[in-house]
Structure 1
Amino acid sequence: MIPARGGSKGIPRKNLRFLDGKPLVLHVVDIAKEFTDFVAVTTDDEEIRAVCEQHGVAVVQRPPELALDDTPLDPVVIHAWRTIESLKGKSFHWVITVQPTSPLVSSASLKEAMTKVEQENADCCVAVTDARHLYWSESAGGIPVPAYTARLNRQYLPPFWKETGAIVISSRRVLEAGTRLGGQVCLYPMPPEESLDIDSYDDFIVAQSRLFQPKVAIRVVGNRELGLGHVYRMLTIASRLFTPVLDFYVDASSRMAGDLIRRRHFPVIDFADEEEFIEAVRLRNYTLVINDILDTEASYIRALRGDDERVVISFEDLGSGASETTLTINDLYEYSVPVANQLYGWQYVCLRDEFLLAPVRPFNPKAENLLITFGGTDPSGLTLKALSAAFKVLEPHQSITVVVGPGNRNLNRICDRVAQGSLTHPNVSLLTDVPRMSDVMIKADLALTSNGRTVFELACCRVPMITMSQNSREATHTFGRLSRGAIDLGLGSSVDEHLLTSTLARVWNDSETRRSMYENLSKFDLRSGIERVVNAILDVHRKWRSSHRR
């Protein structure tokens, strides 16, 4: 039963105001029709009556005495219930009142509330939301009085249930007693994202925003072999998708990724295989799926999208699935011929927040600090090769900073090499736990690094680079050499010691070369990349949502 009065003082004609392409009242009508075939609207307004009847819903004409500003809902619902029973010649044991001002309520919540009533053998049920807070009241003399016994953080306060107005379930026995709530009452805690009751223009704005909010599933990989760059990118994007439903998915090969995500307090769901993930996406009805798992197969992407049932986005995908996505974003590759569903190039790099706020160090004509960093895992062991060159080129008083991640299998050998090198170069330091990499990078005059996302981070800090690729895929990343802010030596395993040493000596000792590289890096607005990416994601989801209004 949906009570939809025509008069509304705060927002004129509120129940007929369009929200997401249709009148407010029709949102709950459609949700109710997903739950049951027996849906009725009670109204005193001819236009609401016409709209609802055109939508295939039974309408009960509310008498004038039940359409006053101060008329409570109980007699309105009871009148409509008796009228519908008389018209249809059918008895209804339960009546569910759903307010038209609760457009975010779901059919799943209606089902859960009804199940709760039956399981608890209750006479009625009311939807509530947990409104626990530090409340105050006033004494008879107007003196402020705390409504709590102890000042605690919100999560440690006892529950304080507030009616949402969205759902009230009443048994026939209660209705016959002239009320909607009576006998044994049960409470149904609604999901917070469904609890909005539209009572102001601000509420309409919130409702519109929430209706367009995606329900997000992010599948990501991260381990010793692949590093954690994919995870950091997805964490950066996730922090900007303001939606109450956002779940990360990792498989057994990416336990490192799952551990990192959990430390950032995002929900993580483990899955066994691709089929299980696809099934979870379907069952949980996600509207936006993001893959950061490298190459995908076309069959996998098609299975995720279904019959255009959701938006599917992939990052760094060169597989056959890239052309099947709603959108593919490849920031590490520069393609001159655009593809309809794909965004390529440095403009779409997603830097971590720390780099967006990092200061830019002025150019230092005299090189003093060399940074060696080859990612969290350095699978090709390039750190050791870089250290050997550094000890040959740098003078004893100059600084060498080596950053090694927790997944580096050569950590013990690197520690030994640093200890040995410190005998001639006392200003060498080894960092294995770096909470803010930007703080380290902005102190560097030159970096020896791999050819992955670290190139963008160094470029953001305007640090000239000499790069070596960890593998053949990484060797196809072009930003470093195209920006002319890096000298790329190619596949690291093929770089001999003489080439690396001579290149380092030439760049380290030539301030004009380094200055040119520094200035070239200043031409690229990398810090706006995350904004471009998030806007692109939300734009394709918004367009999909507009074409799939329920």
Structure 2
Amino acid sequence: MSQETSGHMSDDASAAIDGLTVAIIPARGGSKGVPRKNLRTVGGVPLVVRAIRAAQHAERIDVVVVSTDDEEIAAVSAAAGARVIRRPPELSGDTASSESALLHAVDEIEAGFGGEAGSAGERVGIIAFLQATSPFIPSAALAGAVAEVRADRADSVFSAYETYGFLWRRGGGDTGDGDQATAINHEAAHRPRRQDREPHHLETGAFYVFRAAAFRRHRHRFFGRTRIAEVPEWTAIEIDDEPQLRIADALAAVHGQAEDAPGRVSVQAVVTDFDGVHTDDTAIIDADGGERVRVSREDGMGVALLRRAGIPMLILSTEQNPVVRARAEKLRVPVLHGIDDKEQALRTWAAGAGIGLDDIAYLGNDVNDLPAMRIVGWPVAVANAHPRVLAEARVVLTRTGGNGAVRELIERVLPA
């Protein structure tokens, strides 16, 4: 934590903090810059789910809540373990403020989630406001911000990173040229070395933590003793356009999922495509039009190990081909083939098996797998998958289809 911005005791500090520490994630369905932004994936995980997980992994947060007007966001958030508050239309438009959504959410929580059956209202003591458009929220820094407020060392804490950059403003010069650059935090004629410059902190927008009662009075997120929770600069990206989404995907590949053990895939079921996953995506056609495909014996052993571990598996294929069923029977794995709508077929199968979509790994290779990959917790791609599949995968395997990719995934599932 950096030094607070106000050196005196505030009126807000006089009241003891009691009640829940609640993480609130506003997530509207509408977005102009990036359509359906809160459901877009970074590292194969929807942005809203990344925010939920960051809050779940932060110590001293009692409840994680998503405020939304969108049915799909509500379903995805609930599957990830968040409580959902339905935001009314008047608080869901482009001009609605985040503060209005937070105040509404606190009212609903203290009313027992709107009188929801089995829910008793409880006072909210601290609010942790998380923005889903920040895909790399550090859970440890968030927990530290909560600790600062709870220990009465701050009334409001926000995430920022240290920068020694020279800042400029376009315009404002004496020449009347609107494009003229004007120095802001330095003298243009004097360029001190980095070690001789005063650092500044740039707000990231990832999270804000503050006293709930004082927030009700002030109706904005900065009040009283305001402090900075310093975070790494690489975590500061916010998703406002498609290029930023691609940059975030690249960062996710480098830094990985902090909550995941390296290499492990923690799921309760495995679903795979067939062509290009169990096979190398080629076929031999005989004179009668029959097809033969090449499969991996390694995959067969992996499937046997998965079966012995009691983990359900399903082959889900678009192709209506006898070779698909023959391989499935050999593996003793159920198969749905000739499927045009893989997403709906997967939803139906998961519901029948009583398995949450967030607890399923789907292994695919081509664009017809994308709808199914987007609804599961672990979208996985073979090494030679289509670029669009690689971009949306949470895990990219080292092996190609038909060359042990299924076995590789299973070996990552079994230790978890």
TM-score by length of 2: 0.51
Change (3 A) 1:91 1:119: closer
Report the equivalent of 2:305. none
Counterparts of 1:180 and 1:81, CA distance in 2: 14
Counterparts of 1:53 and 1:125, CA distance in 2: 27
Query: Which residues of 2 match residues 437-448 of structure 1 at below 5 A?
Result: none
Residue 158 of structure 2 corresponds to residue 110 of structure 1: no
Report the equivalent of 1:161. 201
Equivalent residue letter for 2:83: A
Paired residue for 1:94, among 126, 134, 159? 126
* Count of residues in correspondence between the two structures: 238
Q: Deviations over 1:332-353 (max 9, x none)?
A: xxxxxxxx9xxxxxxxxxxxxx
What is the deviation of 1:539? Answer: 6.7
Change (3 A) 1:286 1:22: closer
Equivalent residue letter for 2:84: V
What is the deviation of 1:212? Answer: 2.2
Residue 157 of structure 2 corresponds to residue 132 of structure 1: no
Q: Deviations over 1:145-200 (max 9, x none)?
A: 21113322445422222211101001023222122221111111112232221122
Aligned residues of 2:40 and 2:47 also touching (Cα < 8 A) = yes
Report the equivalent of 2:303. none
What is the deviation of 1:18? Answer: 2.6
Aligned residues of 2:265 and 2:412 also touching (Cα < 8 A) = no
Report the equivalent of 1:65. 90
Q: Deviations over 1:301-356 (max 9, x none)?
A: xxxx9x899xxxxxxxxxxxxxxxxxxxxxxxxxxxxxx9xxxxxxxxxxxxxxxx
Report the equivalent of 1:188. 229
Change (3 A) 1:9 1:86: same
Report the equivalent of 2:107. 82
Aligned residues of 1:120 and 1:186 also touching (Cα < 8 A) = no
Equivalent residue letter for 1:203: Q
Paired residue for 1:17, among 34, 40, 51? 40
Query: Which residues of 2 match residues 298-317 of structure 1 at below 5 A?
Result: none
What is the deviation of 1:78? Answer: 1.3
Aligned partner of residue 12 in structure 1, secondary structure? coil
Highest relative contact order (Cα 8 Å, sep 6+), 1 or 2? 2
Report the equivalent of 1:205. 246
What is the deviation of 1:62? Answer: 1.3
Change (3 A) 1:180 1:308: closer
Equivalent residue letter for 1:41: V
Counterparts of 1:18 and 1:66, CA distance in 2: 25
Equivalent residue letter for 1:160: H
What is the deviation of 1:94? Answer: 0.3
Larger Rg: 1 or 2? 1
- Alignment RMSD: 3.4
Residue 74 of structure 2 corresponds to residue 49 of structure 1: yes
Residue 29 of structure 2 corresponds to residue 6 of structure 1: yes
Aligned residues of 1:24 and 1:100 also touching (Cα < 8 A) = yes
Q: Deviations over 1:56-90 (max 9, x none)?
A: 32111112221121222112111111111111410
Query: Which residues of 2 match residues 505-544 of structure 1 at below 5 A?
Result: none
What is the deviation of 1:210? Answer: 2.1
Q: Deviations over 1:469-490 (max 9, x none)?
A: xxxxxxxxxxxxxxxxxxxxxx
Report the equivalent of 2:346. none
Counterparts of 1:43 and 1:2, CA distance in 2: 9
Report the equivalent of 1:484. none
Residue 189 of structure 2 corresponds to residue 152 of structure 1: no
Change (3 A) 1:155 1:84: farther
Equivalent residue letter for 2:204: T
Counterparts of 2:27 and 2:192, CA distance in 1: 41
Counterparts of 1:116 and 1:22, CA distance in 2: 30
Identity %: 31
Residue 222 of structure 2 corresponds to residue 172 of structure 1: no
Counterparts of 2:210 and 2:131, CA distance in 1: 14
Aligned residues of 2:141 and 2:230 also touching (Cα < 8 A) = no
Aligned partner of residue 165 in structure 1, secondary structure? strand
Aligned partner of residue 198 in structure 2, secondary structure? coil
Equivalent residue letter for 1:110: L
Aligned partner of residue 213 in structure 1, secondary structure? helix
> Which of the pair is proportionally richer in helix?
1
Counterparts of 1:114 and 1:6, CA distance in 2: 28
Aligned residues of 1:214 and 1:286 also touching (Cα < 8 A) = no
Aligned partner of residue 95 in structure 2, secondary structure? coil
Change (3 A) 1:285 1:11: closer
Q: Deviations over 1:442-484 (max 9, x none)?
A: xxxxxxxxxxxxxxxxxxxxxxxxxxxxxxxxxxxxxxxxxxx
Counterparts of 2:204 and 2:236, CA distance in 1: 6
Equivalent residue letter for 2:137: V
Counterparts of 1:188 and 1:285, CA distance in 2: 20
Counterparts of 1:174 and 1:184, CA distance in 2: 11
Change (3 A) 1:131 1:540: same
Change (3 A) 1:120 1:134: farther
Aligned partner of residue 124 in structure 2, secondary structure? coil
Aligned residues of 1:124 and 1:183 also touching (Cα < 8 A) = yes
Change (3 A) 1:214 1:22: closer
